[in-house]
């Protein structure tokens, strides 16, 4: 099976969540024996359709533009058995790069009118490849894809056989939750194999790919802190990631939500570790984290006999957490106090090796 996988995300450098999902899908397809070519539209020159209908009249089947679409992509697309349309969700539908690609497939149609399924359509000049659609979105609800879904079903429903649709909401969030990301990407790999073997993706696999990963309240709290930090630091999300910044908690609640993402839970090994924080200064209050078997639980208040107690002004710890202050230096200057297993504490706060 010959597959053309078309990625329309404008983001390169490992930032694209469309690419994050497309890569295992392609690997799964290759694993099942398909010959897959991946095309990044951001590297191609595709002019917009100008509506001249030269491809329907003077040069039937051939576009008037002489660019990468005419010279390379359109012929490659026609030769394929299957095209994977992978687009980020922009304003509730495919992005402009993918739309430009779709519009430029006009030469495959003849100008005439006929009826199919009680609606007007144009006859096909040639058979187009079957279609698989993949999209990722920032928001968490599946319903965010409703318009996209309706559009691609209309578009590919008759002319092309739409084998499957893969929608991954909360894709940006997913990329930061290591365990869930691994689960979803493994299921996406499996979907690639299923597509080649059976021209469809099973409900079970789709459910694993599209599983909910976060509730709205947590999503909004984390997301809002992230954007507030970007604005305060004057950085784009890409720069935020490159500088290894973390969102700055502004309350006990947001601290409790965020700290687990920066804790190296593996440092606790087989032990059950209680890490107690007692805050003074801007935010008063206490909370503790229970680290056990690689998992981290959190509760407000104080626990009995914690292995580590950190007594600190809230703002001092937030400066350390966001890299504005050096933890070791602050400790030497007695800006905060630690009781208990200091060595373990240092290991817990050592940066995680996962680059996402």
Ligand X SMILES: Cc1cc2nc3c(=O)[nH]c(=O)nc-3n(C[C@H](O)[C@H](O)[C@H](O)COP(=O)(O)O)c2cc1C
Interacting residues with ligand X (CB under 6 A): 9, 11, 16-18, 88-92, 136-139, 144, 171-172
Give 90 or 277: the residue with its C-beta nearer to ligand X: 90
Q: Which is nearer to ligand X, 138 or 340 (by Cβ)?
A: 138
- In the complex with ligand X, the residue whose CB is nearer, 56 or 92, is 92
Answer positive or negative: Cα dihedral of 108, 113, 114, 116.
positive
Helices (H), 16-120: 17-31, 68, 74-79, 96-103
- Cβ proximity to ligand X: between 165 and 172 the closer is 172
**Which CB, 223 or 306, lies closer to ligand X?**
223
Q: How many CA atoms lie within 13 A of 9 on its CB side?
A: 22
Q: How far is the CB of 141 from ligand X (least distance, A)?
A: 8
Question: Least Å distance between CB 17 and ligand X?
Answer: 4
Give the integer Cα–Cα distance in Å for 66 and 249. Answer: 53
Tokens 């969540």 locate to 17
Cα distance from N-terminal residue to C-terminal residue, the chain: 34
Listed in sequence order, the DSSP H helices in the chain are: 17-31, 68, 74-79, 96-103, 146-157, 171-174, 178-198, 203-209, 216-233, 237-242, 252-262, 314-321, 327-332, 342-348
C-alpha distances (whole Å) from 201 to each of 86, 143, 169 are: 16, 20, 18
Structure token digits, residue 137 = 């979105």
We find the least distance from the C-beta atom of residue 171 to ligand X, in angstroms, to be: 5
Q: Which is nearer to ligand X, 140 or 268 (CB)?
A: 140
Least Å distance, CB 200 to ligand X, is 24
In the complex, what is the shortest distance from the CB of residue 168 to ligand X, in angstroms, rounded to a whole number? 9
In whole angstroms, the minimum distance from the beta carbon of 67 to ligand X comes to 23
User: How would you classify the pairing of strands 2-7 and 35-40?
Assistant: parallel
């Amino acid at each position: 099976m010959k597959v053309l996988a078309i990625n329309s995300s404008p983001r390169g450098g490992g930032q694209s969540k469309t690419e994050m999902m497309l890569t295992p899908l392609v690997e799964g397809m290759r694993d099942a024996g398909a010959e897959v070519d991946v095309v990044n539209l951001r590297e191609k020159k595709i002019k917009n359709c100008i509506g001249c209908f030269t491809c329907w009249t003077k040069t039937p089947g051939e576009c008037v533009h002489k660019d990468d679409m005419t010279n390379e992509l359109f012929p490659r697309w026609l030769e394929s058995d299957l095209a994977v349309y992978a687009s980020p969700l922009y304003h509730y539908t495919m992005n402009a790069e993918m739309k430009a690609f779709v519009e430029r497939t006009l030469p495959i149609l003849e100008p005439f009118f006929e009826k199919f399924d009680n609606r007007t359509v144009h006859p096909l000049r040639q058979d187009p490849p079957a279609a698989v659609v993949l999209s990722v979105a920032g928001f968490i609800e599946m319903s965010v894809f409703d318009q996209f879904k309706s559009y691609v079903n209309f578009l590919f429903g008759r002319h092309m056989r739409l084998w499957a649709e893969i929608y991954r909401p909360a894709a940006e969030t997913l990329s930061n939750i290591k365990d869930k990301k691994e689960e979803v990407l493994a299921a996406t790999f499996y979907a690639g194999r299923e597509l080649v073997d059976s021209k469809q993706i099973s409900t079970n696999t789709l459910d694993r790919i599209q599983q909910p990963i976060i509730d709205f309240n947590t999503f909004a709290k984390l997301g809002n802190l992230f954007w507030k930090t970007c604005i305060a630091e004057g950085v784009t999300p890409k720069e935020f990631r490159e500088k290894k910044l973390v969102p700055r908690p502004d309350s006990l609640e947001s601290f409790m939500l965020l700290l687990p993402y920066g804790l190296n839970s593996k440092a606790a090994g087989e032990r059950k570790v209680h890490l107690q924080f007692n805050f003074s200064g801007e935010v008063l209050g206490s909370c503790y984290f229970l680290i056990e078997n690689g998992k981290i639980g959190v509760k407000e208040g104080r626990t009995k006999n914690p292995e580590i107690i950190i007594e600190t002004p809230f703002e001092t710890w937030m400066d350390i957490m966001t890299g504005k202050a050096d933890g070791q230096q602050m400790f030497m200057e007695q800006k905060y106090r630690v009781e208990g297993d200091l060595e373990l504490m240092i290991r817990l706060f050592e940066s995680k090796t996962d680059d996402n």
